[in-house]
Amino acid sequence: MRRLLLLPLTAGVILSSVAGASASVAAAPHASYPPPRTPVTLTSGFFADPDSVPATWVRANRTNPSATRIQSAIGSKPIAKWFGAWSGTIGTAVGSFVGRADNADKLPVLVAYNLPGRDACGGHSAGGADTAAAYDTWISAFASAIGTRPAIVVIEPDSLGDFGCMTPDQIAARNGMLNFAARQFHDRAPNTWAYLDAGNAGWIDAATMADRLNQAGVANVRGFSLNVSNYYTTAQSTAYAAAVNSALSAKYGYTKQFVADTSRNGNGSNGEWCNPAGRKLGTPAQVGTGSNDMLLWIKTPGASDGLCGIAPTTPAGTFTADIANHLISGV
């Protein structure tokens, strides 16, 4: 981790007239101040995991004609790491990943994806913890494992858009878990910027999403994430974020920062979400401006959305060279 040093201010020069006039103080012309402590200033760029899914695939398939191309375009880039039931002991898994990034002085991006009833309405990525109590234990250990190290965390993609098939009691229970998650990152991971997921520009109207974010505890975290695993342009996400913030401000008196997933938005959206043809890689991870904190590759490019589109036999989350090559070429 980059260490910040507090620099002493240059002392003012006290001038007195020989005639006994009152003293005056000349301000130091170039006082130095340390930058604010944020995940960005505490690190020297985003963490490109050498053990990411695409990079691991390349190492295992070096003789594949696409290996070099995939490593250059995808495997070498900073990509979020997703954590769920498959991660084993969550504190160990998160701690190891964040530790490797911290040792390299880089900023890791993590996704917490273990909410009970996950993807209840879509179904392609169903799963999650068995109970709310189990989830609370899991997410608390997740946040604790990060501790004071800098990190970016996206909390439960699709959780606030996936309400269409849920009962009011199920929605209330989900909001309770998301509120708990938000408080865990706020309390246990002080150098983490955490973002509740807010769907995408083409899913839920902005005013409704603002209500859902507020009910889920967005006031306790840095902000919200957009376009995770989708294809909308950055301009569309930015406009949607502005509308959400306008609604938050009007009804609740505050606004929030946001991050946008640009992993597959190079050609924008054609209205389909599940392995559509003709999509393309977007801008790699970089710090944003204004209310846009960052552009990030949150979805792993080359990983299937489910049994659909150009990958009808590839389960959700599975990486293939075919999907990766489609995104690299944009066809």
Most confident of 21-30, 123-132, 159-168, 300-309: 300-309
Q: Where are the domains of the chain?
A: 36-329
Q: What is the pLDDT of residue 26?
A: 45
Determine contact, residues 70/58, Cβ cutoff 8 Å. yes
Q: What is the pLDDT of residue 162?
A: 87
Whether 293 is catalytic:
no
318: left (phi over 0), alpha (psi -120 to 50) or beta: beta
Of 49, 162, 293, 305, the active-site residue reads 305
Does 136 have pLDDT greater than 70?
Answer: yes
Mean pLDDT on 22-36: 56
- Rounded Cα gap, residues 213 and 220, in angstroms: 11
Q: pTM to 2 decimals?
A: 0.89
Q: Tokens 């190891």: give the residue.
A: 96
Does 119 have pLDDT greater than 90?
Answer: no
Q: What percent of the chain has pLDDT over 70?
A: 89
Residue 253 per-residue DSSP state: S
Does 85 have pLDDT greater than 60?
Answer: yes
Does 18 have pLDDT greater than 70?
Answer: no
Q: CATH code for 36-329?
A: 3.20.20.40
Q: How far is CA 320 from the centre of its chain?
A: 23
Does 98 have pLDDT greater than 90?
Answer: yes
Whether 49 is catalytic:
no
Q: What is the pLDDT of residue 36?
A: 85
Whether 305 is catalytic:
yes
Does 148 have pLDDT greater than 80?
Answer: yes
Mean pLDDT on 103-128: 88
Determine contact, residues 261/229, Cβ cutoff 8 Å. yes
Beta strand spans in the chain (E): 13-15, 24-26, 81-83, 109-112, 151-155, 192-197, 223-226, 257-261, 286-287, 292-296
Determine contact, residues 196/147, Cβ cutoff 8 Å. no
Strand 286-287 versus strand 292-296 pairing type: antiparallel
Does 17 have pLDDT greater than 50?
Answer: no
Long-range Cβ contacts of 240-246 (<8 Å, 24+ apart): 240/200, 240/201, 240/206, 241/291, 241/292, 242/291, 243/206, 243/207, 244/198, 244/206, 244/209, 244/210, 244/213, 245/210, 245/291, 246/206
- Rounded Cα gap, residues 143 and 154, in angstroms: 12
How far lies 69's CA from each of 64, 74, 296, 305, 317, in Å? 10, 8, 21, 22, 21
Does 9 have pLDDT greater than 60?
Answer: no
Q: Which token pair is 158?
A: 């699709």
Q: What is the pLDDT of residues 174-228, one digit of tens each?
A: 999 999 999 999 999 999 999 999 999 999 999 999 999 999 999 999 999 999 9
Mean pLDDT on 144-171: 95
Of 49, 102, 119, 293, the active-site residue reads 119
pLDDT band of 124, cuts 50, 70, 90:
low
User: Which residue type, as a one-letter code, is found at position 326?
Assistant: H
Q: What is the pLDDT of residues 254-275, one digit of tens each?
A: 999 999 999 999 999 999 999 9
Does 30 have pLDDT greater than 60?
Answer: no
Mean pLDDT on 314-327: 97
Q: What is the pLDDT of residues 60-69, one digit of tens each?
A: 999 999 999 9
pLDDT band of 32, cuts 50, 70, 90:
low
- Mean pLDDT, the chain, as a whole number? 91
Does 5 have pLDDT greater than 90?
Answer: no
Of 49, 158, 197, 293, the active-site residue reads 158
Q: What is the pLDDT of residue 196?
A: 98
Determine contact, residues 206/136, Cβ cutoff 8 Å. no
Q: What is the pLDDT of residue 123?
A: 67
Residue 3 per-residue DSSP state: P
Q: What is the pLDDT of residue 14?
A: 32
